[in-house]
Structure 1
Amino acid sequence: MVFGRAALVSLLGLVGVWALPAAELPPDPVLQGQLQRTLASSGLAAAVEDGRMAVALVDVTDPAHPRYAGLNDRHMMYAASLPKIAILLAGFEKISQGMMIYNPAVREMFVRLTRFSSNTDASKAIQSIGFDFIARVLQSDKYRLYDPQANGGLWVGKAYGGPNDYWKR
């Protein structure tokens, strides 16, 4: 099954909207209140207050006018599977640039990486895409997902096990 070009463009476009630095996308007061109430009613407010949980939410229902809300969103926190989003983005960027072929094997690897949070497939994808390419995508002006001068961001510094599964600076 071939990933449609329109779907790829839509995915990359939405990630581009998400890549706006927080300074350029101020919190929406209504969405912020809804987020706080939702976390409180779910019994998660204490985790946020104690600094054990961070949440950043972007509503892209209207991609031209994204809305943002966040709690502890300026604090660096480790999220084990979050880098898999960056791996997937870099993979589709490499495909869109004609540097990688989207075939059934790649599709299945990406599906397992995301749907089942497969660490094995995440590592395989990283090796296929390359740490350097992933780093360039994350730091690119197009996405701005990692900025070492602005408290970091989304980064892939190591894979999920196996030889050569770390990025060499």
Structure 2
Amino acid sequence: MKYIFSFLFFIGVSVVGAQQVLPIKIAKFTELKSNKCKALEKNLKAELSRNAKWKSLIASKKMSIAVVDLSNHDIKYAGVNGNNMVYAASLPKIAVLYAVMDAIDKGSVKDTPDVRKDLKLMIAKSNNAASTRMIDLVGYEKIEEVLRNAGSMLYDPGTGGGLWVGKRYAAAGKRYPDPLKGLSHAATPYQAANFYYHLVFGKLINFERSVEMLDILKDPELGHKFVYTLRDIAPNAKLYRKSGSWKNYHSDSVLVWGPERKYILVALIEDSHGEQIVRKLVEPVEKVLKASENLNCSK
């Protein structure tokens, strides 16, 4: 059976042919954690554990995954070490994007062509100079403020932390480490997935700003990790993505939106072969998702 998407159950949906336009307007928004599916989580962990190396990485919390199945109105979230916060290199630049867009919306930062150019460079090419300019533009405290916003709560000490940016992407500059682990660039799979989940439904800042952030995130210009595989197996899907790598730390996050697949996938890996592991994750995850349609998520 093909992995066909149908969101006809949602209210106020824009449809272009068989492909739905993001973000989606819905009558009632439920928090991602309320969509946790124990059965999907069990199946995901079992499939990943078929690989002995991955099983070992999971056991040592050096492999952490989050998946959100958006294939129909019955949204399902599953995590493997989902609340494990680790160093995530450039992936938390999505938090900088959020903070700058929030500042633009509130009028505390002027919306200029140079700012927009830097935001795109920061996300599409992971440009460190542009990222540092954007961090300096808003400051660490502003970034922390939006991440702790009660409406989205992308950093929550009660659930292991989340997204955090506490250092410029440059050699110079003071650190502003997270309160739990003292990390400067951090993420949990759950909160990275939660960022994209809020965007899907236009709930990050507001609908209009969510549209703009999705536009900045789409069409990644770096073709490694998830993108390497997805461009081969899902050439018609739209990809909204941010990744990161530093030494043995390899992270990737993507919202996949296509005619036969719709999901969010986040991976945080600590291993010298992490880039290759992330590439290879896509197909087993899709295998699990394709078999998840009739799962009883209460068990």
Give the TM-score taking structure 1 as reference length. 0.72
Partner of residue 39, structure 2 = 29
Alpha-carbon distance, 1:60 to partner: 4.4
Structure 2 CA distance for partners of 1:155 and 1:107, relative to 1, 3 Å: same
> Quick check: 1:140 aligned with 2:162?
no
The residue type equivalent to 1:73 in the other structure is: G
Provide the residue aligned with 2:60 in structure 1: 50
1:75 corresponds to 2:84:
yes
Would the alpha carbon gap of residues 50 and 104 (structure 1) be closer, same or farther in structure 2, given more than 3 Å must change? same
1:149-160 matched pairs, under 5 angstroms: 149-160=158-169
* Residue 123 (structure 1) aligns with: 132
Gaps of 5+ in 1: 1-8
1:61-101 Cα offsets, whole Å, 9 max, x none, are 56x75421111112222111121011111111111222223
Q: Given the superposition, is the C-alpha separation of residues 112 and 36 from structure 1 closer, same or farther in structure 2, using an over 3 Å criterion?
A: farther
Find the aligned partners of 1:115 and 1:35 in 2 and give their Cα distance.
31
Residue aligning to 1:6: none
More strand by share: 2
What is the alpha-carbon distance in structure 1 between the residues aligned to residue 71 and residue 106 of structure 2?
A: 27
Bigger CA radius of gyration:
2
Q: Which amino acid aligns with 1:142?
A: G
Which residue of the partner structure matches residue 84 of structure 1?
Answer: 93
SS in 1 for 2:164: coil
Q: String of CA shifts for 1:93-151, please: whole Å, max 9, x gaps.
A: 11122222332211111111111112221111111122111111000111101122332
Counting helix residues as a fraction of each chain, which structure ranks higher? 1
Gaps of 5+ in 2: 1-21, 180-299
* Count of matched residue positions in the alignment of Structure 1 and Structure 2: 154
Cα pair distance change 1:106/1:61, threshold 3 Å: farther
Query: Which residue identity does 1:146 align to in structure 2?
Result: Y
Which fold has the larger relative contact order, with Cα–Cα distance below 8 Å and residues 6 or more apart in sequence? 2
SS at match of 1:69: strand
Q: Distance in 1 between matches of 2:109 and 2:45?
A: 39
Q: Shift in Å at residue 166 of structure 1? A: 2.9
1:73-112 paired onto structure 2 within 5 Å: 73-112=82-121
* 3-state SS, counterpart of residue 149 of structure 1: helix
Shift of 1:28: 5.6
Q: Which moved more, 1:104-113 or 1:27-36?
A: 27-36
2: distance between equivalents of 1:61 and 1:129? 36
Provide the rounded CA distance (Å) in 1 between the counterparts of 2:108 and 2:77: 33
Provide the C-alpha distance between the structure 2 equivalents of 1:134 and 1:66, rounded to a whole number of angstroms: 29
